[in-house]
Amino acid sequence: MEVVQNLATSSEVLDTLARDPKVDELSKTFIARHPNTSAKTLVYLLKYDKIEMMGAIAAHSNTSPEILELMVKSSDKLYTQYKLAQNPHTPADALDELCDESESEHLRLAIAQNPSTSQLTLKGLFDESVLISIEAKKNYDYQEFLKQQEG
């Protein structure tokens, strides 16, 4: 457990531990949360379909956009969906789908705050609760500002 919690542990060591059948699932969940865990190891850890593991993978900055999109399509757990909605690497299309399928205010708020959320989805969130509307409008305005700076 010390190796898994050590921030200096390399991605190679974490990958070896993740694949070791003698390492328990709790330790593997810590591996999924470790900032040095590679995308390849995170994909391997998907086989442990436990809520804590899925949430850790959904939140991880090294999880590829393709895997995040697949997780949106396959997850029915609110905790995992919430972590996906918060991850700025989750593709806009996947966030759109997540927003369309959920009625959770917490999930919609996370989507409204995600910088990857499409402007179309943000506009759709303008009529939600006050907090969601404020966050969606703020994110939308920021995206508009960035567009103007580019052009």
State the residue range of the domain holding 90: 65-151
Question: Do residues 74 and 123 share a domain?
Answer: yes
Element at 42 (helix H, strand E) = helix 39-45
Q: What is the pLDDT of residues 111-133, one digit of tens each?
A: 999 999 999 999 999 988 889 99
Residue 151 pLDDT greater than 80, yes or no? no
- In this prediction, residue 125 carries a pLDDT of 93
Q: CA-CA distances (angstroms) from residue 103 to 11, 63, 79, 82, 129?
A: 37, 25, 14, 12, 12
- Shared domain for 57 and 90, answered yes or no, is no
> Final residue of a domain: which of 19, 48, 63?
63
pLDDT per position as a tens digit, 33-49: 999 999 999 999 999 98
